[in-house]
Amino acid sequence: MPVPAPHRQPRYRAIADELRRRIAAGAIPAGALIPSESALTAEFRVARGTIREAINVLRVDGLVVTEHGRGTYARPNVAVRRLGPDRYRPALSPSDVVPSSGASGSPIAPEGVEADYSQVHASAEVARAFNVVPGTMLLQRRLIAKESGIPQQITTSYYLFDMVAGTPVADPGREPWRGGHISQLRSLGVTVTRIRETVRSRIPTTDEARILRLSAGASVLAVTRLTEAQDDVVEVAMEIVLPADRTELDYELLLWEG
């Protein structure tokens, strides 16, 4: 009986394995550009298409990220963020507003908070959450928060415009706030009594994947948040989007008899 010929690994996979080894060994440091296609083509003596296949393998595995205008680089080592219930603890300082240059106690480093505020009409879904009629004027807040220069969170949230108009809460230049939206509401004389969150995992949109620098096949955690003061919903977040592989959610469950 003839002995079967040994299985030969495709050339692009062998190149991907070598680049993987260099990344793991630190020869290509985290955040550093990998050699150009031309350089790799010359080094491995293969066609450019073979190099592209090899890089795509690394991209799918989450080892490299490609950005338009920058190139392909080894994915930075980003620590997993642990989000616990203490993230909604109001600031203890009498001054809830802090300049962008320093927000001690903030769960997101202030060096990377991009704020975009706009007036919008409430969609049917958001209006239902607020228990108002669709079309009610809202303040929409879109925040992109970073840690160590890496985008870590996209938040789209809403306030009733009549409640915040003309106050510091409606000024994007005030971001980030120490104590987050809890302190913002407290500055308006609103005391938060309950926060309800719904978390689901989903595939990111193209825009979310680009902003969060997600690798192919990566998923996100999408959090819907309702903030209440007594029986009134005073803030709605739809949604808070986080990279699933960089986020750990830590919740406390309170049990009671009754």
CA distances from 191 to 98, 106, 185, 232 (A): 20, 20, 7, 11
Instruction: Please identify, among 54, 74, 94, the residue that sits at the C-terminal boundary of a domain.
Output: 74
* Full residue range of the structural domain in which residue 135 is found: 81-249
User: What is the structure's pLDDT at 8?
Assistant: 75
Query: Which of 74, 95, 126 is at the close of a domain?
Result: 74
Say whether both 241 and 146 belong to one domain.
Answer: yes
Residue 243, pLDDT score? 92
Q: Residue 77: what pLDDT?
A: 67
Q: For position 108, what pLDDT does the model report? A: 44
- Give the pLDDT band (50/70/90) at residue 99: very low
CATH number, position 165? 3.40.1410.10
pLDDT given for residue 106 in this prediction: 36
CATH of the domain at 49: 1.10.10.10
145 and 56 belong to one structural domain: no
The answer to whether residue 146 sits within a structural domain is yes
CA dist., res. 6 & res. 47, Å (int): 24
In this structure, which amino acid lies at residue 240?
A: I
Q: Do both 97 and 56 map to the same domain?
A: no
In a domain, 229, yes or no: yes
Residue 4 lies in a domain: no
Residue 76: the pLDDT is: 74
Higher pLDDT, 240 or 79: 240
Question: Are 221 and 249 contacting, i.e. CB atoms less than 8 angstroms apart?
Answer: yes
pLDDT digits (tens, 9 = 90+) for 100-118: 333 323 344 445 789 999 9
Q: Which of 172-176, 180-184, 252-256 has the lowest mean pLDDT?
A: 252-256
Number of domains in the chain: 2
Share the mean pLDDT of the chain.
Answer: 84
Q: How far apart are CA 88 and CA 183, in angstroms?
A: 9
Domain shared by 86 and 166, yes or no: yes
Q: Is residue 154 pLDDT above 80, yes or no? A: yes
Element (H, E) at 13: helix 11-25
Other residues' Cβ atoms within 10 Å of the Cβ of residue 98: 21
> Which residue's entry shows tokens 């302190």?
183
Taking only the tens place, the pLDDT of each residue in 127-150 is 999 999 999 999 999 999 987 677
Let me know whether 116 and 240 are in one domain: yes
Task: Of 1-10, 34-43, 145-154, give the range with the top mean pLDDT.
Answer: 34-43
* pLDDT (average), residues 209-224: 87
3-state SS, residue 220: strand
Asked if residue 9 has pLDDT above 90, the reply is no
Residue 209 has pLDDT above 80, yes or no: yes
pLDDT at 207 over 80: yes
pLDDT over 90 at 18, yes or no: yes
* Residue 68 three-state SS: coil
Question: Is residue 98 very low, low, confident or very high in pLDDT (cuts 50, 70, 90)?
Answer: very low
The answer to whether residue 219 sits within a structural domain is yes
| 230 and 191 within one domain | yes
Burial of 189-205, coded b for 16+ CB within 10 Å and e otherwise, reads: ebebeeeeeeeeeeebe
Provide CB contacts within 8 A for 254, sequence distance 6+.
Answer: none
Structure pTM? 0.69
Asked whether residue 121 carries a pLDDT value surpassing 80, the answer given is yes
Residue 3 counted as domain residue? no
Q: Average of pLDDT values for 90-109?
A: 41
